[in-house]
Structure 1
Amino acid sequence: MTVIYQLATPLPEAERNARLYRGELIVFRGFDAMAQLTDRLRAHCISHLGNDPTGPHLSMSSNEIEHAAESLRAAIRRDSNVDVAWRQVLSAINTNLDETYGDSVVLRVQPPQSGRQGERTKPLRAHRDTWGSNLPAQINWWAPLYETTPERTLALFPGFFARIVENDSADWNFQEMVQAQRTKSTSGYPLLPTATKAPSWDDALVVNLLPGDLLCFSGAHLHASVPNTTGLTRLSFETRTVNRSDMTAGSGAPNVDGSAPFMTPQIFRHLLSGRKLGAMVRR
């Protein structure tokens, strides 16, 4: 049985990363820096979704929620204090920022399944993030802003960490996805490769965390959104990091089934200088 290790003290980064690359799951709990980041993100949610950010679906249409969610994500991207708070979280758990590259802190808004879900608010199908990035050293971070329940959270499929899962990564092109997003194409080009034959939900490990908890797992872990069957909107944030030395040394999780044509290090920027991790290259 897969265990989620809960830690209330920092962990040396080399040990943490090695454990994640082996498929372990770690939750950091009780860190003041994480509580401060959560409070800041909650304030943004209230500004864009109302005094009860878990209930916008009660008064807003799908299009209104989609627009509000996009405005919310844009506000977080512009808030440099969010970046500062996230760096403080990473420092608190013993991360070497000089070696760390990351993408933006992204807020996920998932209303209940009521026909009110747009392209950016619907549940994500089962996928490995590394199917798109091709970076074995990628680490994913996920945290709820409000209390989760098994019906409104994230699920992982630990039993498939080193097992082949049928997917469409071979036909997915990062450049085409970016172009579709820039032009607001109506072709519906997928944001990321996904499993074409996903495991049964019986194989899922449903993550039930509290606000202030921080889950980290390898980008190679198969995961998905749990379809929200509650009466509340799910609000969580996610981001990804890469340790430069690990990437250079070839360290990371195994690639058992990813076939996308490009590696995309350019989506990760140094957390202090803003320099890109590298240029996109064909595998």
Structure 2
Amino acid sequence: MTIVYSAPQVTDARRRELLYGGAVVVYPANKASTALTAFAQELITEAFGPLDPQTAQHELPVDRMVEILAELKPRFIHHERSKQLVAELMQSHGCDEHTYFDVPRLRTSTSDGYLTTGISYVFHAHRDTWYSAPFNQVNWWLPIFPVTEHNAMCFHPRYFDAPVRNSSDGYDYDEWNRTSRYNAATHVGADTRVQPKILDPAADLEPTVTVLPEPGGLMMFSGNQLHSSLPNTSGVTRFSIDFRTVHIGDVATIRGARNVDSACTGTNLRDFLHPTTHTPIPEELALDYQRAVGSLRRSHAAG
């Protein structure tokens, strides 16, 4: 069972405990989240010029959309203002200097199969932990424009603490960085990158849980949640922001969600940055964590 908490009045430590146990937490838009989505809207509007970004797919050839997104998304991801606004959002929700973040991503989900690969990849049901995310990773997700049940994302709560056969044993984070991470824009029409997927044809992904925050509203969930993009049939392109956080105290003590079926190799911990200095997680901490969870992942691969 997945419990959705609306703006719980709890400490960050207690919230992480709830998330590691399978809860989803939702907060209304606040000053910090509104500032982040407003900055994203500013860059999006500039990129699309006179076109409405949400309906531009009906006026642009796919190749032109890819060109726009290939310039827009990295600009937002690596902009110093984006990092500053993420840090302010984290602070507004009780996170301290021990909470590190990965740079925010600008995501798009186009309608009716217009562009579903590469730079606008439609995510199948997956756990981030299949992609070498730590089990104490917390995902933050914010819509930039209104979302509906026809273009949001959903959770598959049946499998939060139950295994499902998957291909994560074929995923290596270092190899992904070397060969696939930076060429998303070249995958138009077909996406040949290695993506861990469910292998069990009998897997039952119903029922689902879908949460629809307001623009700038925030949803938090564990990186171990099985989640996917809903097929977008809304007629508009969805724009959203997501980023991930880890608390280095939880990393050091191996505190997080339980691994039920992840067998990948490597870790993305080195991508996480200090909220103010932007220095990466200490290498020794990443190595210690990778050694500690490596044997557990290998046991899932062998089983």
CA distance in 2, matches of 1:62, 1:122: 13
Bigger proportion of residues as strand: 1
| Deviations, residues 203-246 of structure 1 (Å, cap 9, x unaligned) | 21122221021000000000011111121001111110110001
TM-score of the two chains, using structure 1 as the length reference: 0.91
Partner of 1:196: 199
| Deviations, residues 186-210 of structure 1 (Å, cap 9, x unaligned) | 78222x4232237445321122221
How far 1:10 sits from its partner (Å)?
5.7
Partner of 2:272: 268
2:142 and 2:215 in contact (8 A); partners too:
yes
Unpaired runs of 5+ residues, structure 2, are 295-303
Partner of 2:300: none
Partner of 1:233: 237
Q: 1:116 to 1:13 in 2, by over 3 A?
A: closer
Q: Considering only aligned residues, what root-mean-square deviation do their CA atoms show, in Å?
A: 2.1
Alignment of 1:106-255 (within 5 A): 106-181=105-180, 184=183, 188-190=192-194, 192-197=195-200, 199-255=203-259
How far 1:47 sits from its partner (Å)?
1.2
> Which one of 251, 255, 260 corresponds to residue 256 of structure 1?
260
How far 1:134 sits from its partner (Å)?
4.5
CA distance in 1, matches of 2:221, 2:158: 14
1:126 and 1:223 in contact (8 A); partners too:
yes
Q: 1:274 to 1:6 in 2, by over 3 A?
A: same
The residue identity in structure 2 corresponding to 1:69 is L
Q: 1:249 to 1:67 in 2, by over 3 A?
A: same
How far 1:183 sits from its partner (Å)?
7.7
How far 1:104 sits from its partner (Å)?
0.9
How far 1:77 sits from its partner (Å)?
2.5
2:127 and 2:224 in contact (8 A); partners too:
yes
How far 1:182 sits from its partner (Å)?
6.4
1:25 and 1:215 in contact (8 A); partners too:
yes
Partner of 1:92: 92
| Deviations, residues 73-100 of structure 1 (Å, cap 9, x unaligned) | 111134211211111111111111x101
**How many residues matched?**
280
Q: Which moved more, 1:80-89 or 1:240-249?
A: 80-89
TM-score of the two chains, using structure 2 as the length reference: 0.86
CA distance in 2, matches of 1:261, 1:83: 28
Partner of 1:67: 67
How far 1:62 sits from its partner (Å)?
1.8
CA distance in 1, matches of 2:169, 2:181: 22
1:10 and 1:94 in contact (8 A); partners too:
no
The share of aligned pairs that are identical, in percent, is 26
1:152 and 1:226 in contact (8 A); partners too:
yes
